[in-house]
Amino acid sequence: MYAVLSASRLMKAAEVREICSELRSNPTLLMALELAAKEELYRRFEKEKAASETLTATKTIPKFKIPSLAT
């Protein structure tokens, strides 16, 4: 199983190795962290989506058929 470690601060190499080894030995912890990260991203996405819906018009643009140039 592959995992990507994303740090929100600068970390020493020893800290990164320690975290990686802990996650490798405990896949349940890895799944819990992944779920928490996905939840946070989903909340941010929904918040941005709600904000963008209020700023833009919801009216749809009618589609026009382009006449063929072939004669």
pLDDT in tens, 9-32: 788 889 988 988 888 899 898 888
Quote the pTM value: 0.48
AA letter at 18: E
End-to-end alpha carbon distance in the chain: 60
Mean pLDDT of the chain: 77
What pLDDT score does 69 carry?
60
Buried b (16+ CB within 10 A) or exposed e, 50-68: eeeeeeeeeeeeeeeeeee
Position 43 scores a pLDDT of 92
Higher pLDDT: 4 or 44? It is 44
